[in-house]
């Protein structure tokens, strides 16, 4: 759409007091990354076949999938070209990588997301060198997915019922779904697209269960794409979002695969059925750990999209004067609006930085694990669980806040905020449900509290537990360092309270697991335990309001610095030029209900009633 940029946005950009490009480079971790990102964005976003004539919302469930899969293979081809041309296409240091721009292309989810993001990475991390050489060929016929969750079990994966029984007479595993609740349910790409999968199943050898292991299974014929004998597979139907993700179900009826299809980097089953244990029994959960780490950056990116849309719209939208004799003000001038939006910008930066830090920690811990040192894994797991849980919960709440901050227009699909919300809120559940993950972190904290309570030596990271017990906490200071100290006190105080409740339940004769369950609300909630006073809270509040006023002139500059292209934002409200009302009218004209001046239903249903006595 051509035309002038909205006058208010022009003024906002003139007001900005910092160098927008410089911030973009910081976000991208360096100017050279920005340049590279823009080149790849240009290359991919200029492919005409990736753009729709008809908005996605007007397509049927089936058409949506077919449209998405067409685009997915164009994207895959481009990714392969870039890959073979030695262009580094993923860079987790930047939130705006090739994975992120796909949001715009699909306006939803790439049905090959799990193939690219989980199937390949799990093989790369958990298959032996020989298996990788065989399965990770660039021209492989396999389109795969990651098949773990079942109808009956998602969170509690030890309860998974699918079995893989070793048959030493044929050197094969027999994959089997013993009952309805054992049907695999949810995996992305499974419904129609995948012809292979990594399946999580309970390993049985000579009647002994060795727990969960991962197996590669072909499920559809590579040529005809028909399900193989013994495989029942299909799509699970419409969802709140993720409607192009092709989530599916899968059942095995004594389906045989070679023994060498078990992922054998960390654990092995030998030809005679000997089981060789892994160095750590949770290495099989490695893909979940990696995805949880990756998700933090993705959620930061979703926040930056929502903030960009809502801030630009709030600069363009005028509604009500502040003083009755004045013209109507930009809604961005209302302090309550600033409070809703600036916290979203800030949270995006927080999770971007934390996501990057976690990504580097993951790399470091993985390198240690390769050397046989598992010491850092529990801490990484505890951090990944907590950060995935709170980043997804914060992101979905803040995206919804941005949507509400756009009033009625935020409710339009054309604003793209409902889709960003549906995408973001799913992350609260998948890859480990929010509460379940918080409880994993709580378990870790309680362990160290017990050490502190028993006056045993603590690692440096937990020295603040000891400080809390010895009441060594400093007086509250209204400064960033003071706030961090305050948070430490809250964590220590909360952990102590949960631990005390747990101990009390145990003293009352409860078994540990039951006592844990009874303390679980305390284990997942935080309260105020610091030395903060009412005066401090008032001082912080007024400092916060001062900061809102300081940020106000830079709000548009701050979201421009995220540098998200209009094709990726896909929003009538958030485009760079701010021509909100023109875009809304243009999008409305695409509604099939505007094709005929008089819809035929008028003649069929309305007129016979309204004109009944007049005909």
Ligand X SMILES: CCCCCCCCCCCCCCCCCCCCCCC/C=C/C(=O)SCCNC(=O)CCNC(=O)[C@H](O)C(C)(C)COP(=O)(O)OP(=O)(O)OC[C@H]1O[C@@H](n2cnc3c(N)ncnc32)[C@H](O)[C@@H]1OP(=O)(O)O
Residues that bind ligand X (CB under 6 A): 79-80, 83, 89-90, 98-99, 113-114, 116-117, 138, 146, 148-149, 155-158, 188, 282, 285, 288-289, 291, 294-295, 298, 377-378, 381, 430-432, 436, 440, 443
Find the binder of ligand FAD among 429, 440, 478, 531 (CB under 6 A): 429
Q: Is 149 annotated as a binding residue?
A: yes
- Rg of the Cα atoms in the chain: 27
Q: Are 422 and 240 in contact (CB under 8 A)?
A: yes
The entry of ligand FAD, ligand X, none that residue 288 binds, CB within 5 to 8 Å by partner kind = ligand X
Read off the tokens for 12.
């906002």
Q: Which stretch binds ligand FAD (CB under 6 A): 128-136, 413-421, 425-433, 559-567?
A: 425-433
Binding flag, residue 426, ligand FAD (CB under 6 A)? yes
Q: Which stretch binds ligand FAD (CB under 6 A): 45-53, 354-362, 430-438, 469-477?
A: 430-438
Contacts of 357 (CB under 8 A, 6+ apart): none
In angstroms, what CA-CA distances link 295 with 102, 140, 381? Answer: 15, 27, 14
Q: Cα(78)–Cα(279) distance, rounded to whole angstroms?
A: 39
Q: Cα(162)–Cα(147) distance, rounded to whole angstroms?
A: 11
The strand pairing partners of 252, in sequence order, are 231
Binding flag, residue 435, ligand FAD (CB under 6 A)? yes
State in angstroms the smallest separation of the CB of 4 from ligand X: 37
The entry of ligand X, ligand FAD, none that residue 440 binds, CB within 5 to 8 Å by partner kind = ligand X
Show the binding pattern over residues 478-517: x = contacts ligand FAD (CB under 6 A), - = does not: ----------------------------------------
The entry of ligand X, ligand FAD, none that residue 314 binds, CB within 5 to 8 Å by partner kind = none
Q: Cα(341)–Cα(315) distance, rounded to whole angstroms?
A: 12
Read off the tokens for 379.
């801490």
- The number of beta carbons lying within 10 Å of the beta carbon of residue 19 is 11
State in angstroms the smallest separation of the CB of 516 from ligand FAD: 9
Residue nearest to ligand FAD (CB): 154
State in angstroms the smallest separation of the CB of 121 from ligand X: 7
Token pair 């603590």 in the structure block, residue: 458
Nearest CA to 199 out of 267, 249, 131 is that of 249
The entry of ligand X, ligand FAD, none that residue 435 binds, CB within 5 to 8 Å by partner kind = ligand FAD
Find the binder of ligand FAD among 188, 557, 574, 578 (CB under 6 A): 188
Q: Are 178 and 163 in contact (CB under 8 A)?
A: yes
In 168-310, which ranges are E strands?
A: 172-176, 184-185, 196-205, 208-218, 231-235, 248-252, 255-258, 268-269, 275-276
Subset of 243-262 contacting ligand FAD (CB under 6 A): 247
The entry of ligand X, ligand FAD, none that residue 80 binds, CB within 5 to 8 Å by partner kind = ligand X
- The number of beta carbons lying within 10 Å of the beta carbon of residue 449 is 25
SS3 for 318?
A: strand
Size of the site for ligand FAD (CB under 6 A): 22
Find the binder of ligand FAD among 6, 148, 162, 572 (CB under 6 A): 148
Dihedral of CA 487/488/494/497: which sign?
A: negative
State in angstroms the smallest separation of the CB of 513 from ligand FAD: 10
Q: In what order do the strands lie in the sheet with 231-235?
A: 184-185, 248-252, 231-235
538 catalytic residue (yes or no): no
Choice among 431, 466, 514, 545 that is catalytic: 431
Q: Are 243 and 61 in contact (CB under 8 A)?
A: yes
Find the binder of ligand FAD among 149, 195, 392, 501 (CB under 6 A): 149
The entry of ligand X, ligand FAD, none that residue 158 binds, CB within 5 to 8 Å by partner kind = ligand X
Q: Are 551 and 342 in contact (CB under 8 A)?
A: yes
Find the binder of ligand FAD among 187, 355, 410, 486 (CB under 6 A): 187
The entry of ligand FAD, ligand X, none that residue 273 binds, CB within 5 to 8 Å by partner kind = none
Helical (H) or strand (E) element with 167: strand 163-167
Q: Is 241 annotated as a binding residue?
A: no
State in angstroms the smallest separation of the CB of 84 from ligand X: 9
Query: Which residues lie near ligand FAD (CB under 6 A)?
Result: 114, 146-149, 154-155, 186-188, 242, 247, 426, 429-433, 435-436, 439, 520
Residues marked as catalytic? 431
């Amino acid at each position: 759409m051509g035309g002038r940029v909205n006058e208010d946005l022009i003024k906002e950009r003139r007001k900005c007091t910092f160098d927008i490009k410089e911030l973009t480079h910081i976000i991208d971790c360096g100017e050279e990354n920005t340049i590279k990102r823009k080149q790849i964005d240009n290359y991919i976003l200029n492919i005409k076949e990736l753009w729709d004539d008809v908005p996605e919302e007007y397509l049927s469930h089936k058409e949506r999938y077919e449209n998405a899969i067409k685009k997915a293979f164009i994207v895959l081809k481009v990714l392969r070209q870039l890959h073979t041309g030695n262009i580094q296409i993923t860079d987790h240091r930047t939130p705006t990588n090739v994975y992120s721009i796909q949001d715009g292309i699909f306006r939803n989810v790439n049905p090959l997301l799990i193939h690219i993001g989980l199937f390949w990475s799990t093989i790369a991390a958990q298959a032996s060198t020989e298996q990788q050489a065989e399965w990770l060929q660039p021209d492989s016929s396999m389109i795969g997915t990651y098949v773990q969750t079942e109808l009956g079990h998602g969170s509690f994966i030890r309860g998974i019922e699918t079995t893989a029984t070793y048959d030493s007479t044929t050197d094969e595993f027999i994959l089997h779904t013993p009952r309805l609740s054992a049907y695999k349910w949810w995996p992305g790409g499974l419904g129609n697209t995948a012809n292979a999968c990594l399946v999580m199943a309970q390993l049985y050898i000579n009647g002994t269960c060795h727990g969960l292991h991962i197996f590669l299974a072909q499920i559809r014929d590579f040529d005809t794409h028909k399900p193989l004998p013994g495989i029942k597979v299909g799509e699970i139907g419409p969802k709140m979002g993720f409607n192009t993700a092709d989530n599916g179900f899968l059942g095995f009826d004594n389906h045989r695969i070679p023994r060498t299809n078990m992922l054998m980097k960390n654990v092995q089953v030998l030809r005679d059925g000997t089981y060789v244990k892994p160095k750590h029994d949770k290495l099989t959960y490695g893909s979940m750990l990696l995805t949880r780490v990756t998700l933090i950056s993705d959620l930061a990116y979703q926040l930056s999209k929502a903030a960009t849309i809502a801030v630009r719209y709030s600069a363009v939208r005028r509604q009500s004067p502040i003083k009755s004799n004045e013209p109507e003000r930009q809604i961005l001038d209302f302090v309550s609006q600033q409070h809703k939006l600036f916290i979203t910008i800030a949270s995006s930066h927080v999770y971007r930085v934390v996501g990057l830090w976690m990504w580097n920690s993951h790399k470091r811990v993985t390198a240690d694990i390769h050397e046989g040192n598992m010491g850092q894994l529990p801490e990484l797991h505890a951090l990944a669980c907590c950060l995935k849980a709170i980043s997804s919960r914060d992101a979905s709440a803040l995206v919804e806040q941005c949507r509400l901050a756009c009033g009625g227009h935020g409710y339009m699909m054309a604003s793209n905020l409902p889709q960003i919300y549906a995408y973001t809120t799913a992350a609260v559940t998948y890859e480990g449900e929010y509460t379940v993950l918080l409880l994993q972190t709580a378990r870790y904290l309680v362990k160290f509290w017990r050490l502190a309570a028993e006056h045993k030596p603590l690692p440096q990271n937990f020295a603040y537990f000891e400080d809390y017990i010895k009441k060594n906490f400093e007086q509250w200071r209204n400064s960033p360092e003071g706030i961090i100290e305050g948070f430490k006190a809250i964590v220590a105080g909360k952990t102590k309270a949960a631990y005390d409740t747990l101990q009390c339940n145990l003293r009352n004769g409860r078994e540990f697991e039951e006592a844990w369950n009874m303390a679980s609300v305390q284990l997942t909630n935080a309260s105020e335990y610091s030395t903060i006073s009412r005066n401090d809270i008032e001082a912080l509040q007024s400092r916060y309001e001062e900061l809102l006023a300081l940020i106000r002139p830079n709000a548009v500059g701050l979201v421009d610095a995220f540098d998200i292209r209009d094709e990726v934002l896909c929003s009538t409200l958030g485009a760079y030029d701010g021509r909100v009302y023109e875009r809304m009218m243009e999008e409305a004209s695409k509604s099939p209900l505007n094709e005929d001046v008089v819809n035929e239903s008028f003649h069929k249903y309305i007129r016979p009633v309204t004109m009944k006595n007049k005909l």
